[in-house]
Amino acid sequence: MLIFHTISELQTYLRSARKKGLKTGFVPTMGALHKGHVSLLQQAKSYTDITICSIFVNPTQFNDLNDFKKYPVTINADIEKLLGFGTDILFLPSVAEIYPNGTTDLPHFELGFLETVLEGKYRPGHFQGVYQVMNRLLQIVEADDLFMGQKDYQQCMIIQHLIKQENSNTRLHIAPTLREEDGLAMSSRNIRLSDAQRTTAAYIYKALQQMKQQLHQGDLKNIKEAASGLLTYNGFIVDYTELANASTLEPLDNWNGTDPVVALIAAHLGEVRLIDNMVLTH
């Protein structure tokens, strides 16, 4: 595996690869790698000739400085996992490499409705940071294919918006959420949970399943409230339990029985904020 710390070295290598007609697959991460990341890298490996993983904890997408400081950093273990899997390239840039002019005067992007609901509402500025870093990374890597997980449902919609708005030639592939045996979505944040919290965290998946079982045409208020009640009873502080149009993310208070529906949850367990989702209709 080749490790690049600078943009110039990475781009020099990738230009040479492109001249040989080699296709690139890109998996951007913030480290603390788990089986979900590995599944994305496996998909990239099957689709493309060169698999690129980046590890960069992006400061501009954290609206809570403490959350940024506590984000798990496990770089040595991450490198071991990437070596074991056979990843071709690891891009490991510094903040100064990604943001050479600093992070205080970055451009503001028009994200529309997506920036105002759910994660956009509860984490103001978060999606500006996501857009900023992904726009930068896609410009640097110029990958043929980009692989991301469905667990970050709203983020995937932001990236789709970015690719269209920036006229990028990169193709986005969204992989299903990988789960633990008890249903908990795999996440880098899970390692911050205590043993007791880790057991409790599975109630997020149970709440999603409950919303799916209860989904019916008409008023959806009671379904959302019941999911929130289940989580609150088990010790969560709930940001939202929402049912939304799976194509637009417009919250649904009343379902016509035909629109695609996705259930989305964000809740705190102690100091750890967990998110998850489940598409309820096909």
Q: Is residue 37 marked as binding?
A: yes
Plot region of 183 (φ>0 → left; ψ -120 to 50 → alpha; else → beta): left
Q: Is residue 61 marked as binding?
A: yes
Q: Is residue 43 marked as binding?
A: no
**What residue ranges in the chain does DSSP mark as E strands?**
2-4, 24-29, 50-55, 89-91, 145-149, 171-175, 218-219, 237-245, 254-255, 261-269, 272-279
Q: Is residue 243 marked as binding?
A: no
Q: Is residue 112 marked as binding?
A: no
Q: Is residue 150 marked as binding?
A: yes
Q: Is residue 239 marked as binding?
A: no
Q: Is residue 155 marked as binding?
A: yes
Cα–Cα distance for residue pair 174/156, rounded to 1 Å: 7
Q: Is residue 189 marked as binding?
A: yes
CA end-to-end span of the chain:
40
**Residues classed as catalytic:** 37
Q: Which residue in 194, 183, 177 sits closest to 272, CA to CA?
A: 194
Q: Which residues pair with 262 in a beta bridge?
A: 244, 279
What order of strands is seen across the sheet that includes strand 237-245? 237-245, 261-269, 272-279
Q: Is residue 31 marked as binding?
A: yes
Which residue ranges are tagged as binding site for beta-alanine?
61
Known binding-site positions = 30-37, 61, 149-152, 155, 178, 186-189
Give the residue ranges of the annotated binding site for (R)-pantoate: 61, 155
